[in-house]
Structures are given as structure tokens and as C-alpha cells.
Amino acid sequence: MQEDQRQVWVLTKRGHGEAKQLLEPKGIRLSALREEKYDLDTGEPLGTGYDDHAAAVTGVAAELHRAGIGHRLGFQTEIGHRLGNNFVQRADLVVRAPAAGVPVLLVEVDRRTEDAHDLVQKLSRYWEWGRLLPACGDKRTVDLVRSRPDAIETVDHEERLWRRVYPPTGREGLIPVAFVFADTTEAKVTNTVAVLEEAGRRYWAPRRYDTYERGITALDYGQAVPVLVTTLEQLQEPAPTGRCGGGSDGRASRR
């Protein structure tokens, strides 16, 4: 039971195993099992904040579903994205709601526990993952990118690893990422957005087209991660609002 009277139910290791056997053959992936750990001296549970975080992630999914975005089975938690160095970046929530115009959305939920620069690091990892090639990709393309990493920018997204995992997003760029803040302050959100805008510019900002034509003002979002920043409280409002990375001027815009 949480302080606000919300109840959080967690599967035991045995229950998780049984659910996995039941659901995964149907194409429904389960989140990673997080076993509760206890202090050896006091017997007190460690990492109790996980329950609050899990409740916030569930709350985000519930509000999106209430707004008509996604089927109940269209949400997955703790989905891993393995980088080239074998580090696994786990998304708190993956949303698939093509009927609502959201083919895929990766969601990170923060409850005042992460520094803004930690979120920039997560954004960089999703950007990096979106630039990977599948191990079984075209050998010439793989060799080219291995010898000249920036050559990945000339490789169509259809040939990249992320397109083997997720469907087309319907817009330029990589897989969109949403940062959702819960139980925090407006000042924390504002400060974090400022850091994401500046320190994370390389990952979300568009670029000018490489052309000799003068007067071209359009911007290229092809290598950028579309970013949305909002709060759980805003999602709970009748008309959800948020902040989107990559506005017409290349900055994060309020919506």
C-alpha cells in the first residue's frame, strides 16, 4: 500500500515464470523480474522506491489508455535495447497504438530521482541504438559504417536494427521518446527541459540540409530523436498537454 493509498501488486518469481509461459507464446512480452531485496542486518526491504516508480509507470499507461491511446496489451514495460557495447537501456514503457497514430513510443518516467543529465544520457543511448545496424545486415554496409561511423547517416532507416524491432513511426527521425515526470515540481520540470534542450541538442535537434542551393530553410530531422516532455498530472487533465522536442525552430516547444 502506497502513501496515497494506491496498491501495487508484484508477481512472485514463480508467478512471473508461469505468466511468461502463458503469455509469451501469444506474442505478449513480460517485463523483467525485479526481486525484492532486504538488508542483511535489519531485514528492511531495499529499493522501496521501485514500488512508487512502478505505480507511476502504470499510471502513465492507464492515462494514455483512458485517452484512447493504446489497447491494454499494447503496453510493455522494462523492454531492453542492447547497445554496441552490450549495455542494455531499458525503457520504462513501450507504447504501440497505431490506431491512435502512435506506431511506437518509448517512455521514461522520472519521480524526482534522476538528475537531468542522466536523462540526457538515456536520450543519447536511444539515439545510439537507433543508429545500429543488424548483425545480419548487408556486409558492404556494415563494413562501411565500421570503417567510417558517420556513414550510418546515409543508410536508410529500413536497413537499421530498430526497423527490425519497431514499425515505421510515420515521421522523420528515429523512435520517439517521451519523458514523463510524476510527483515533482514545475521548477524541476522546467530546469530539466532546459538541460535536455541544451545538453541533449545533438540527439533531438534537426540539421540543415547539405545542399548548394541557396534559400533552403527546411530542416532535416532524419537523424534526430523526436522528444516529448510532460507530467503525469498533465496527462490526467481532460485535455493533455506537453512539450515536444523539434519544433519549427529546432527547439523544444510547449504544447
Q: Which of 11-15, 214-218, 223-227 has the lowest mean pLDDT?
A: 11-15
93 membership: H or E segment, kind and range = strand 88-97
**Residue 44 pLDDT greater than 80, yes or no:** no
Q: For Cα atoms 119, 52, 31, give the angle at the middle one, nearest 5 degrees.
A: 75
Residues 193-217 pLDDT 10s: 999 999 999 999 998 877 666 677 8
Say what the pLDDT of residue 197 is: 95
Residues 78-128 pLDDT 10s: 899 999 899 999 999 999 999 999 999 999 999 877 889 999 999 999 999
Buried b (16+ CB within 10 A) or exposed e, 28-51: eebbeeeeeeeeeeeeeeeeeeeb
**Residue 244 pLDDT greater than 70, yes or no:** no
Say what the pLDDT of residue 14 is: 75
Average pLDDT, the chain: 81
Q: Which of 5-19, 121-135, 136-150 has the lowest mean pLDDT?
A: 5-19
Q: pLDDT band at 22, cuts 50/70/90?
A: confident
Helix and strand element counts for the chain (H, E): 8, 11
- Residue 125: how many other CB atoms lie within 10 Å: 17
Contacts of 250 (CB under 8 A, 6+ apart): 205, 206, 219
Say what the pLDDT of residue 2 is: 47
Give the residue-averaged pLDDT of 174-191: 92
Q: pLDDT band at 73, cuts 50/70/90?
A: confident
Distances (CA, A) of 40 to 13, 35, 51: 20, 15, 20
**Residue 241 pLDDT greater than 60, yes or no:** no
C-alpha torsion sign, points 166, 88, 247, 159: negative
